Structure 1
């Protein structure tokens, strides 16, 4: 490929790719800064701006900037330290109502200061580029390991969140898990690159970082209210699990069937979720959750199905009994609601059902 009459090498294409990723990440970060609710958006804003630094750094290295100004290569890497803690903090902001900066967060400045304490003396030594690279590589590997610890902590917390969720997992959970997994793989590639100085490692690590930025941006378009959706899903999962904790669902279902089949509890026209839960010695929310999760039915639909089943039996067994009497016997207090539910469940009217059941050949 030629640009302005000059051949464009693979290295040139990679540099352009990384520079584009740098500006892309910074633009997204600044977009968060200029949105309303700055406190809520400060973490993702800082994260995207920090993600731009490794991409900028490798571009400057490939362009030969660090060879001409060796000490400048030491300026950006210590800032990578904050990628891990900020990712971890951002995940907890997702689960909480609001992220508040605390004095304890300042402890993360210690490894940042330590990194500079190691690199600054090297900066003051005679310009031996290879000597600087050795120290820089050591510090970068330690920084990436520090970041990796926080990414694994984030993955562990995400796993705990998944365990408290009701299957199937929401799509936004799967997307978040993929974000964290790709970030861990990317940091692994970065460590490999620093240790082996492999061109493949460089392309995979920094290229994947750029792809991750674009991928996260795409996810934000897919879920514009990402924070709010994650919070609601997390709260819903925790609530559902907490309501069913210590409850033998199978036993409750068996008791429900006994109430329906043997005691004909559905025939009580005043039957409510609360009254039925009281008969089972559980909370109404627990009963609702069991019906939804194990039978895929709401309370009203569950009761109406039993009432219509009983009505069908009476229509057949007592052909001369008035329909009005039957609907009252199975728990309906309204002719219109009975006919509506009967038609919805059986696909026909009570009269047509009785006629067909009594004279199937007609």
Structure 2
């Protein structure tokens, strides 16, 4: 290797090494472990393995096929992990939903089964033209899903009416970094320019160090995202206490209609019933099987349905804003998700009944 290649290899390899160290920290050595921290560690691990494969392949073209297969297999988990990490940060997930576990298990079964039956060593003709494209397409789909999940963050970013909070900034950093790395590999896959394949590892190194600096400078990140805020957070709330809290919560929302506040946060509501944000998240997950956003949005949609019937002169957009949504599109999307129909169809049906 010449001097230029030595420098590229050094910086690319350094990013992979530090990525693995950081992944190990979040997965195994962090004193207070959370599901969000675990997902971040898993994402760093998958990216480090995938990027590591690229580094060694570029500077050691005769790399054994098993290492290529391991790198691509890790790539199969980048998209799902990114999506669930974004979702976990937004919805303050404490207890891991069962369908998340089933989805990860399904991905594991698929990649292990395919990798065992059709190894890269014996079936390079399948991995090159087909499997790689399937893996990248799956990565792309999950990236799009993560982008849709972050719609409110983008709206807030481009409107510039209020600053992004720490969790939103971190989501944006994760998503942007993923886009840059994915684009580098995708352009290389299309043979647009071979240099893009090398830019993937370099991008990862650059983004990793920005992330580390971001975490070091933002002391509150640990409180917002990676740790439980009180010593009771890891303990399951007793059934009797849970029932009392649920009743108190429902009474509070029905009487004060707090869900109409578009800026209502988990911690804002938890303070009203004298528990921590993590305890409220745990209460909703364990006892109602819902995330905070789903729970609040159900109240908003129920109120919207009531207003559609009782105040037919109001526009649907006005009703959406009145019940607590920040945008017309979010109102329509959430309404259809919960009621399995559009606001307009619901209004027409209500008018026909009346």
The alignment's TM-score, normalised by the length of structure 2, stands at 0.54
CA drift at 1:168: 2.4
Structure 2: distance between partners of 1:20 and 1:215: 14
Structure 2: distance between partners of 1:132 and 1:82: 17
Contact map agreement 2:188 2:197 (CA 8 A) in 1: yes
Query: Are 1:43 and 2:64 an aligned pair?
Result: no
1:244-323 to structure 2, matched below 5 A, reads none
1:123/1:110 Cα in 2 relative to 1: closer, same or farther (>3 Å)? same
Query: Are 1:241 and 2:267 an aligned pair?
Result: no
1:75-114 to structure 2, matched below 5 A, reads 75-105=70-100, 106-114=102-110
Query: Are 1:137 and 2:132 an aligned pair?
Result: yes
Higher relative contact order (CA 8 A, sep 6+): 2
1:27-176 to structure 2, matched below 5 A, reads 27-32=21-26, 33-40=28-35, 41-64=37-60, 67-105=62-100, 106-123=102-119, 126=122, 132-156=127-151, 158-159=153-154, 162=156, 167-170=161-164, 172=166, 173-174=168-169, 176=171
| Residue number among 8, 13, 24 corresponding to 1:14 in the alignment | 8
CA drift at 1:56: 1.0
CA drift at 1:24: 0.6
Query: Are 1:200 and 2:221 an aligned pair?
Result: no
1:225/1:239 Cα in 2 relative to 1: closer, same or farther (>3 Å)? farther
Deviations along 1:117-170, one digit per CA (max 9) or x if unpaired, are 44444427657x67653345324423432442343234325347x39x993214
Larger Rg: 1
Structure 2: distance between partners of 1:121 and 1:99: 37
Contact map agreement 1:57 1:73 (CA 8 A) in 2: yes
CA drift at 1:61: 1.2
Contact map agreement 1:26 1:49 (CA 8 A) in 2: yes
SS of the residue corresponding to residue 214 of structure 2 reads helix
CA RMSD of aligned residues (A): 3.5
Deviations along 1:92-117, one digit per CA (max 9) or x if unpaired, are 33234443223211223334433444
Structure 2: distance between partners of 1:98 and 1:137: 32
Per the alignment, residue 352 of structure 1 pairs with none
SS of the residue corresponding to residue 262 of structure 2 reads helix
Structure 2: distance between partners of 1:184 and 1:157: 18
CA drift at 1:224: 2.4
Deviations along 1:238-279, one digit per CA (max 9) or x if unpaired, are 886358xxxxxxxxxxxxxxxxxxxxxxxxxxxxxxxxxxxx
Structure 2: distance between partners of 1:145 and 1:114: 18
1:242/1:12 Cα in 2 relative to 1: closer, same or farther (>3 Å)? closer
Structure 2: distance between partners of 1:76 and 1:189: 16
CA drift at 1:20: 0.7
1:61/1:124 Cα in 2 relative to 1: closer, same or farther (>3 Å)? closer
Q: Structure 1: give runs of 5+ residues left out of the alignment.
A: 1-6, 232-237, 244-362
Contact map agreement 2:79 2:140 (CA 8 A) in 1: no
Structure 2: distance between partners of 1:9 and 1:109: 44
Q: Structure 2: give runs of 5+ residues left out of the alignment.
A: 227-258, 265-354
What is the total number of aligned residue pairs between the two structures?
228
Contact map agreement 1:144 1:191 (CA 8 A) in 2: no
Structure 2: distance between partners of 1:16 and 1:31: 22
CA drift at 1:176: 3.8
CA drift at 1:12: 3.0
| Residue number among 179, 182, 198 corresponding to 1:187 in the alignment | 182
